[in-house]
Amino acid sequence: MSLRHTSARPAALALGLGALVCLLGAGSLTASGRAPGTAGRPSAAPSTFVRGVAWNSDNSPLPAAKVRLRNLHTGRVDATAVTTEIGQFTFTGLEGGAYVIELVADSGSVMAVGQSFRVELGETIATFVRLPARQSWFAGAFSNTAAAVIAAASSAGVTAIGSTSPPVSPQ
């Protein structure tokens, strides 16, 4: 057994215990794993959370940005939220399924879409959505110029033009 393997196990155990202490310290669960005051009662269905961050293209947070959670199976928007001053958002009480986060402009148009993910009942998923880098207004005018010229030439029947003389410029 390597030294790295044996030292990783106590670190993982300490991390797990630290998370449990945080939950117990916050008062959201008791040592039995139930919410306070629910001893003896059947537990409710576990909550499902999606937590994330909205970023600009330069990885700075997007405060007060509108985000929505779209269900990929039904195509409907299941929840909406506005990010905090540090770009964070949370969706709670979800059904299990496949989702995607959309970053939405005030007009309702989608500005960015995060990666798709699947969440099951009782799970917490962490995700993010990032705006793409901005392009100048004229960038699209020149990006496909060569392809347009080639397409026009090939539709006119021009396949290649060449010369049999040696190149004029020295090497």
Which domains does the chain possess? Answer: 46-135 (2.60.40.10)
Q: Return the number of other C-beta atoms located less than 10 Å from residue 39's C-beta.
A: 9
Per-residue model confidence as pLDDT tens digits over 49-99: 999 999 999 999 999 999 999 999 999 999 999 999 999 999 998 888 999
Q: Are 62 and 56 in contact (CB under 8 A)?
A: yes
% residues pLDDT > 90 (the chain): 45
32-59: average pLDDT? 68
Q: Are 82 and 57 in contact (CB under 8 A)?
A: no
Residue 145 confidence class, pLDDT cut points 50, 70, 90: low
Closest CA to 54 of 18, 78, 90, 19: 90
pLDDT, position 159: 63
Alpha-carbon distance 109 to 111, whole Å? 6
Which pair of structure tokens corresponds to residue 62? 């997007």
